[in-house]
Amino acid sequence: MYRSFLFSVLIPTACLLSVGPVLAQQDWKAVGQALGKSGSVMDGGVYRVGMPRSDLKVTLDGVELKPALALGSWVALKPMADNDAMLMGDLVLTQDEVNPVMSVLLQDGLQVTALHNHLFRADPATLYMHVSGRGDPVKLASALHEALAQSKTPLGEAAVSPASQPEIDLDTAAIDTALGHQGKVNGGVYQESISRSDPVTEDGMDVEPAMGTAIAINFQPTGGGKAATTGDFVLIAEEVNPVLKALRADGIEVTALHSHMLDEQPRLFFMHFWANGDLTTLLHGLSAALGEMAVQR
pLDDT at 6: 37
3-state secondary structure of 13: coil
What's residue 133's pLDDT? 96
220 within some domain: yes
Q: What is the mean pLDDT of the chain?
A: 90
Judge if 284 and 173 occupy the same domain. Answer: yes
Express each pLDDT in 162-205 by its tens digit.
Answer: 556 778 999 999 999 999 999 999 999 999 999 999 999 998 89
Burial profile 191-229: b = 16 or more Cβ within 10 angstroms, e = fewer: bbbbbbeeebebeeeebbbbbbbbbbbbbbbbeeebbbb
> Given this model, what pLDDT does residue 167 score?
84
Q: What share of the chain has pLDDT > 90, as a percent?
A: 83
Confidence at residue 113, expressed as pLDDT on a 0 to 100 scale = 98
Total residues found in the chain within this entry? 297
- Do 223 and 141 belong together in one domain? no
Q: Looking at residue 67, what is its pLDDT?
A: 97
Residue 14 banded pLDDT, cuts 50, 70, 90: very low
Of 83, 115, 148, which residue constitutes the final position of a domain? 148
Q: What does R_g of the chain's alpha carbons equal in angstroms? A: 18
Residue 174 lies in a domain: yes
Regarding whether 281 and 168 lie in a shared domain, the answer is yes
Q: Do residues 4 and 73 lie in contact, with contact meaning Cβ atoms separated by under 8 Å?
A: yes
Q: Are residues 37 and 113 in the same domain?
A: yes
Three-class secondary structure of residue 173 per DSSP? helix
pLDDT surpasses 50 at 2: no
* Whether 172 and 225 share a structural domain: yes
Asked if 202 and 225 sit in the same domain, the reply is yes
Say if residue 256 is in the same domain as residue 190. Answer: yes
Whole-number pLDDT of residue 161: 55
Q: Give CA torsion, residues 158, 52, 187, 224, to 10 deg.
A: 160
At residue 189, the pLDDT reads 97
Instruction: Report whether 218 contacts 71 (CB < 8 A).
Output: no
**pTM attached to this predicted model:** 0.88
Residue 231 lies in a domain: yes
142 and 88 in one domain? yes
CA angle 150, 151, 154 (to 5 degrees): 125
pLDDT at 68 over 80: yes
Based on the fold, state whether residues 186 and 274 are members of the same structural domain.
Answer: yes
Strands 205-206 vs 201-202: parallel, antiparallel or unpaired:
antiparallel
Of 148, 181, 205, the last residue of a domain is 148
| CA–CA separation, 43 and 11 (whole Å) | 9
| pLDDT for 273 beyond 90 | yes
154 domain-assigned:
no
Structural domain contains residue 43: yes
Mean pLDDT of the 120-145 span:
97
- Is there a domain that residue 255 lies in? yes
The residue among 72, 204, 79 whose CA lies nearest residue 135 is: 79
Is the pLDDT reported for residue 249 higher than 60?
yes
Task: Return the higher-pLDDT residue of 132 and 15.
Answer: 132
- pLDDT higher than threshold 60 for residue 73: yes
Domain boundary among 117, 148, 179: 148
The number of folded domains in the chain is 2
Domain match, 137 and 181 both: no
Please, which residues have CB within 8 angstroms of residue 55's CB and are 6 or more apart in sequence? 152, 153, 154
**For the purposes of burial, counting CB atoms within 10 Å of the CB of 95, is it exposed (0-12), middle (13-18) or buried (19 or more)?**
exposed
**Residue 80 and residue 169 in one domain:** no
Which is it for strands 85-94 and 184-186: parallel, antiparallel or unpaired? unpaired
- Three-state DSSP class for 161? coil
187: closest CA among 73, 68, 65, 48? Answer: 68
Average of per-residue pLDDT across 94-115: 98
166 and 279 part of one domain: yes
Q: Which domain holds residue 108?
A: 25-148
The pLDDT score that the predictor gives to residue 203 is 87
Would you say residue 173 lies in a domain? Answer: yes
Residue 247 falls inside a structural domain: yes
Quick: pLDDT tens for 41-60. 998 899 999 999 999 999 99
82 compared with 255, residue with greater pLDDT: 255
pLDDT value at residue 287: 98
Which pLDDT does position 19 carry in this prediction?
42
**Of 8, 54, 1, 37, the residue nearest 185 (C-alpha):** 8
CB 158 within 8 A of CB 40: no
Predicted confidence (pLDDT) at residue 146 exceeds the cutoff of 70: yes
- pLDDT at residue 155 tops 80: yes
What number is the average pLDDT over the span 241-262? 97
